[in-house]
Amino acid sequence: MVKMTYVEASRLAVQEAMTADETVWCVGEDLGRGSVFGQYLGLQAEFGKDRVVDTPISEAAIMGAAFGAAMVGTRPIVEMRFSDFALCATDELVNQIAKARFMFGGQSRAPMVIRKPIGLWRSSAAQHSQSLESWYVHIPGLVVLCPSTPQDNYSMMKAAIACDDPVVYLEHKNIWGLEGEVDTSLEVEIGAASRRREGDDVTIVSWSNTANLSVEAAETLAGQGISAEVIDLRALWPWDKQMVLDSVRKTGRLVVAHEAVAVGGFGAEVVATVAEHGEALKGPVRRLGAPRSLVAYAPNLEDKMRVTVDMIVTAAKETLGK
C-alpha cells in the first residue's frame, strides 16, 4: 500500500502501462508540460515525444488521429483536458469510434482511453464545469468510467487501457489532490461497483466525487442512529445493477446522488431499474442532482449547483420519514 493523490495514481497507472506495452501512448495538448492538472508530468521525458505527443489545439484532430492509430493496433490515451472541450470531437467519438467494431463486423476495434475531466472546479463557469456522463452512457459501443478515489483511479485506469473497446474516462477535476492508500496489486473488473460502506436502513447510490460526499453523509447519519449503505457505481456502463438491487432489497430505501444535472441524469436510470424489478420500498425514493441551470462564475451562485453532504443526509432521513 502506497499513499498517493488521485492524480498521482492515474499517472502511475499510465507510466506502468507504457512501460509494459509499447503500443500504449498518449496524445493531447501540452502533455510535455504535464497537461492542465499534471496528469503527465515527467512522462514525455521518460518515453519521448513520439509516445507522449503534443498536438495543435484541435480536439477533432486529436480524436481522429488517435482513432486511426487505434484501428491499426496501438492503444492511445487521448487527453481532452476538459469534458467541455471534448464536445468539439463528438462526431469522431459518437459516429466513428463507438461504432467501429460493429460497422466493420469485428474485423477492427478502437481500444482507446478518452480522458474527459468533469465537474465543478473553483469558479470555472459554464463552459468548464459540466458533468456530461449521461450523454456517453446513451451511446452504444462506449464504456463509461467515473473513478472517485486514488485506488480506483489507479486500478480503473489500468483496466481501461487494457480494454478492447473505447472507454470514456471521467475524472473529477476537484479531487486531483485527494489522497488515499493505493494497492498497486489490486485489479478491478470494469462494471463492478464498490460497496464503500455497509448499512441496513437506506441505500445511497452515487459515483465520482459525490460518492465521497455520500460516504461523509453516511458517517453523519451513523451518528444519528441511521445505518446507510453507500454504493459507488464507479462504472456507468456497464453498471452493477445487481449490487444496487441486492442493497435496496435489504434496506427498502433508496437515495441516488450525483453532481450532474438531475434532469435526464443517470440517477433516473438507477431509479427506473429498481422500479422495473419490483423492489418493495419502505419509503419514497430521493434523487439528488444539480438544477437544470448554467454554472455561474460567482462562488455563491456556483454553490447553488452543488449536491452537498447535508443534502444527502436530509434525503436519506426523508426516506425514513424523519
Domain residue spans in the chain?
Answer: 2-182, 194-319
Q: Which of 41-50, 134-143, 270-279 has the lowest mean pLDDT?
A: 270-279
- One fold for 2-182 and 194-319: yes
Average pLDDT, rounded, for the chain: 96
Tell me whether residue 277 is one of the annotated catalytic residues: no
pLDDT, one tens digit per residue, over 160-188 is: 999 999 999 999 999 999 999 999 999 99
Q: What is the mean pLDDT of residues 209-215?
A: 98
Closest CA to 307 of 111, 110, 172, 183: 172
Residue 279 has pLDDT above 80, yes or no: no
**Cell output for 135:** 450523454
> How do residues 123-158 score in pLDDT, each as one tens digit?
999 999 999 999 999 999 999 999 999 999 999 999
DSSP 51: T
Q: Is 1 exposed, middle or buried (0-12, 13-18, 19+ CB in 10 A)?
A: exposed
Looking at the DSSP assignment, which residues form a beta bridge with residue 308?
none
**Predicted local distance difference test score (pLDDT) of residue 322:** 83
The highest-level CATH class for domain 194-319 is: alpha beta
Say whether 297 sits in a helix, a strand or coil: coil
Whether residue 167 contacts residue 113, with contact meaning beta carbons closer than 8 Å, is answered with: yes
Phi first, then psi: what are they for 259, rounded to 5°?
-80, -25
**Mean pLDDT, residues 214-223:** 98
Q: To the nearest whole percent, how much of the chain has pLDDT over 90? A: 97
What are the DSSP E strand ranges found in the chain?
A: 2-5, 24-28, 52-54, 75-79, 113-115, 143-145, 167-169, 179-182, 194-197, 202-206, 228-232, 235-237, 254-261, 286-290
Task: Look at domain 2-182 and name its CATH class.
Answer: alpha beta
Average pLDDT, stretch 17-26? Answer: 98
As a whole-number percent, the residues of the chain with pLDDT over 70 amount to 100
**One of 128, 172, 258, 277 is an active-site residue; which one?**
128
pLDDT tens sequence across 234-244: 999 999 999 99
